[in-house]
């Protein structure tokens, strides 16, 4: 089996290293450790990491943070709309975890050129895992669908998974607690003897529906799957 | 003609009748049940079988009880015991269990009758509200409120139309207090025209403002103007600014190329991702931070700990522990977690980006008026509400404006 890493160039590795740094800084802010960088013409032009806890906005994923920085900067610099679309079409994204369905759709809308990701996002992934939004617009009579981008995973996946794993194993101090039991939900829980609802509510653990993974990675996988991690913020 | 509220199904109709799936189960001593349930829920959560109860209790002849417990899903195939995860295998060894393959209902029941049938096989949970196909069962009062909320969204879209282009509108409400949490329109193109609309309709309004007494003909005419079906080029052009309908269109825009420097306090004068739902979520989060500035640090009692530490509680069955936990949660007056318990009203079915954003933010129910045949992710192109792997599932409803609006 070919090591997944060998298909990548040294600059790919360097950019992903940078994205991992972003993920680590998220972790030090008690955020789920996912990070990314945008690269244009071989240069890092933007970076981002998860800010979902701080903002209480679960859509503030690393990709969204980095995209907003770019749009703000380009508009301040007076770039016209076609100039901005032109720039996005030259951008390559390096992100530690496969973009979720939301972010993959956003990247497609922006018309980005290419995405490299670390670990797969088996529960929320929008670049092949759950949906394939990198394939762009569905069925265009005119031919070429808009919003298609190249996408490759497995770049430094074990590093990305390692961060996530250590984050979840140490618990997430900002973990959501169910403050407002939804009446329909509490009804559902009242009928338990399935106790997973019970365990999911334990303070200090974020949505442990997947439980804490005992790392049992099938060796045949090219890169570490994250099916056991709840990559809500991927 | 009255308005109608119809559930948008999350799976193809009629596919669950009698469909079963294999799981690995074992009979257990009743006194072990609590311990085993706890261990197994960690080691092998039943992610795709949320409706299936973990334990089955059957009364055999002579009044004997038989307790069976689901150990884990099948991994190697429907009828194979192979592939049991190590953690589960350890439980099997430790407690000397005899695993066998049991059949459980694959999908949640869609009717009371089906549920009763299912329970003969294996107990499941049944939530009438969550499974109604076709007409949703809302009380007249609820229906009235839901329609009022949708009218609020339609009115926002109508207002934005005065600025020549139609936009999508999003209204997040708290159905328990009947307050508006956020109400916005698309902010993908220049903000100038829309600011007034959003300001006028922002933040927690008085609940009364959502009743539409003076509806009548004018209102209907407005909606009608909004929703000309895609007939001519002329008509469909006015929908181009509905972000979720044409998410990629901004790539081709050649107009308003001269962007004036941003000095109106907004970071962007345009932004291809600021679809109405995304902006509404942002406003709801801002409201949350404003109303509850401190991160919360206490919460429901740690059920796990108390169950382990107190021998008295250890005797209780899981049900009563859960009941207790729910009670203690209800006693705490806490800020909401994200948008848990909130509903959103959208004029058009959201695109994949917006639909997934609403999963992330834990919206409880989505109501939309018009389908999005170009890029809709809640029935038209994708069906996110039926995506089992996601960690949160909302229910989706279409609110059909009365036939005068949509011929
Ligand atoms: Zn994402
Ligand atoms: Zn959208």
pLDDT in tens, B105-118: 887 776 677 777 88
Any domain includes B84: yes
How confident is residue B353, by pLDDT bands cut at 50, 70 and 90? very high
Question: A10-169: which CATH topology?
Answer: Cytidine Deaminase; domain 2 (3.40.140)
Q: For residue A7, how many C-alpha atoms fall within 13 Å in the half-sphere facing its CB?
A: 12
Taking only the tens place, the pLDDT of each residue in B366-377 is 999 999 998 999
- Domain of B60: which CATH number? 3.30.70
B157 and B184 belong to one structural domain: yes
B97 and B137 belong to one structural domain: no
> What string of pLDDT tens digits covers the 234 residues of chain A?
444 556 899 999 999 999 999 999 999 999 999 999 999 999 999 999 999 999 999 999 999 999 999 999 999 999 999 999 999 999 999 999 999 999 999 999 999 999 999 999 999 999 999 999 999 987 666 667 899 999 999 999 999 999 999 998 876 555 544 333 333 333 333 222 222 222 223 333 333 333 333 333 333 333 334 444 555 665
Confidence (pTM): 0.67
Return the number of other C-beta atoms located less than 10 Å from residue B57's C-beta.
14
- What DSSP line would sit under B34-94, residue for residue? HHHHHHHHHHS--GGGTTB-SEEEEE-GGG-EEEEEEEEE-SS-TT--TT--HHHHHHHHH
C-alpha B349 – ligand 2 centre gap (Å): 8
B159 and B230 belong to one structural domain: yes
Residues of chain A with CATH 3.40.140.10: 10-169
* Number of domains within chain B: 2
d(CA A94, CA A36): 5
Counting ligands in written order, which one lies closest to the CA of residue A127? 1
B183 and B45 belong to one structural domain: no
The verdict on a CB contact (< 8 Å) between A109 and B250 is yes
Task: Domain of residue B343: give its range.
Answer: 1-14+133-190+215-252+271-292+334-406
DSSP-based helix, strand, coil % in chain A, nearest 5: 40, 15, 45
B10 and B30 belong to one structural domain: no
Query: B37 is written with which tokens?
Result: 């349930």
Any domain includes B311: no
Predicted complex ipTM? 0.77
Query: Could you tell me if B175 lies within 8 Å of chain A, comparing CB atoms?
Result: no
Taking only the tens place, the pLDDT of each residue in B186-208 is 999 875 444 444 443 443 344 33
- Domain of B141: which CATH number? 3.40.140.10
Dmax over Cα atoms in chain B, in whole Å? Answer: 86
Any domain includes B313: no
d(CA A109, CA A103): 10
C-alpha B176 – ligand 2 centre gap (Å): 26
The verdict on a CB contact (< 8 Å) between A105 and B325 is no
Residues of A in contact with B58 (CB under 8 A): none
The per-residue pLDDT for B220 is 61
C-alpha B364 – ligand 1 centre gap (Å): 20
The per-residue pLDDT for A224 is 38
The per-residue pLDDT for B321 is 56
Say whether A137 is catalytic.
no
Return the exposure string of B170-196: e unless at least 16 CB atoms fall within 10 Å of the residue's CB, then b.
bbbbbbeeebbbbbbbbbbbbbeebee
The verdict on a CB contact (< 8 Å) between B391 and A177 is no
Any domain includes B355: yes
Residues of A in contact with B304 (CB under 8 A): 198-199, 202
Which residues share a beta bridge with B52? Answer: B124
């Amino acid at each position: 089996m070919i090591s997944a890493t060998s298909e990548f160039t040294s600059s790919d590795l360097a950019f992903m290293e940078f994205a991992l740094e972003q993920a680590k800084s998220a972790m030090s802010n008690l955020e789920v450790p996912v990070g990314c960088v945008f690269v244009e013409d071989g240069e890092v032009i933007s970076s981002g990491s998860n800010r979902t806890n701080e903002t209480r906005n679960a859509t503030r994923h690393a990709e969204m943070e980095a995209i907003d920085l770019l749009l703000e900067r380009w508009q301040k610099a007076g770039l016209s709309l076609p100039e901005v679309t032109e720039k996005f079409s030259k951008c390559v994204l390096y992100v530690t975890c496969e973009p979720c369905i939301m972010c993959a759709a956003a990247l497609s809308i922006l018309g980005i050129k290419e995405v490299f990701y670390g670990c797969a996002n088996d529960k929320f992934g929008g670049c092949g895992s759950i949906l394939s939004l990198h394939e762009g617009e569905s069925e265009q009579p005119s031919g070429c669908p808009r919003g298609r981008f190249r996408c490759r995973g497995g770049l430094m996946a074990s590093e990305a998974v390692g961060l996530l794993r250590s984050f979840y194993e140490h618990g997430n101090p900002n973990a959501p607690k169910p403050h407002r039991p939804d009446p329909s939900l509490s009804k559902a829980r009242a009928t338990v003897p399935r106790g997973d609802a019970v365990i999911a509510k334990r303070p200090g653990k974020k949505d442990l529906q997947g439980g804490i993974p005992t790392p049992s990675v099938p060796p045949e996988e090219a890169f570490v799957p994250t099916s056991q991690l709840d990559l809500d913020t991927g | 003609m009255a308005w109608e509220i119809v559930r948008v199904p999350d799976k193809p109709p009629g596919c669950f009748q009698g469909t079963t799936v294999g799981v690995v189960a074992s009979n257990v001593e009743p006194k072990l049940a609590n311990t085993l349930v706890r261990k197994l829920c960690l080691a092998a959560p039943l992610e795709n079988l949320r409706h299936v109860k973990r334990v089955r209790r059957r009364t055999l002849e002579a009044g004997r009880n038989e307790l069976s417990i689901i150990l884990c899903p099948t991994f190697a195939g429907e009828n194979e015991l192979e592939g049991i995860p190590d953690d589960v295998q350890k439980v099997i060894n430790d407690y000397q269990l005899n695993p066998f393959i049991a059949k459980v209902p694959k999908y949640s029941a869609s009717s009371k009758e089906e549920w009763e049938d299912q329970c003969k096989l294996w107990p499941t949970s049944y939530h009438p509200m969550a499974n109604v196909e076709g007409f949703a069962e809302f009380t007249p009062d609820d229906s009235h409120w839901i329609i009022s909320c949708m009218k609020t969204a339609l009115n926002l879209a109508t207002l934005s139309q005065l600025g020549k282009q139609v936009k999508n509108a999003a209204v997040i409400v708290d159905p328990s207090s009947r307050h508006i949490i956020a109400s916005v329109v698309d902010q993908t193109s220049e903000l100038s025209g829309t600011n007034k609309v959003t300001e006028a309709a922002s933040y927690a309004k008085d609940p009364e403002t959502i009743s539409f007494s003076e509806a009548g003909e004018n209102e209907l005419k407005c909606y009608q103007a909004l929703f000309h079906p895609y007939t001519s080029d002329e008509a469909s052009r006015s929908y181009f600014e509905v972000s979720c309908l044409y998410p990629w269109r901004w790539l081709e825009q050649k107009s308003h190329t001269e962007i004036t420097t941003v000095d109106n306090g907004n970071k962007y004068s345009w932004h291809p991702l600021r679809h109405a739902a995304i902006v509404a979520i942002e406003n709801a989060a801002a409201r949350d931070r404003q109303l509850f500035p401190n991160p919360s640090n206490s919460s429901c009692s740690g059920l796990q700990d108390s169950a382990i530490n107190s021998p008295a509680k250890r005797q209780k069955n899981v049900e009563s522990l859960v009941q207790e936990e729910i009670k203690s949660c209800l006693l705490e007056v806490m800020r909401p977690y994200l948008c848990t318990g909130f509903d959103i009203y959208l004029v058009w079915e959201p695109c994949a980006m917006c639909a997934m954003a609403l999963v992330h933010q834990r919206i409880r129910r989505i109501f939309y008026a018009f389908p999005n045949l170009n890029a809709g992710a809640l029935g038209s192109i994708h069906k996110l509400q039926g995506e089992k792997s996601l960690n949160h599932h909302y229910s989706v409803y279409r609110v059909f404006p009365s036939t005068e609006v949509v011929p």
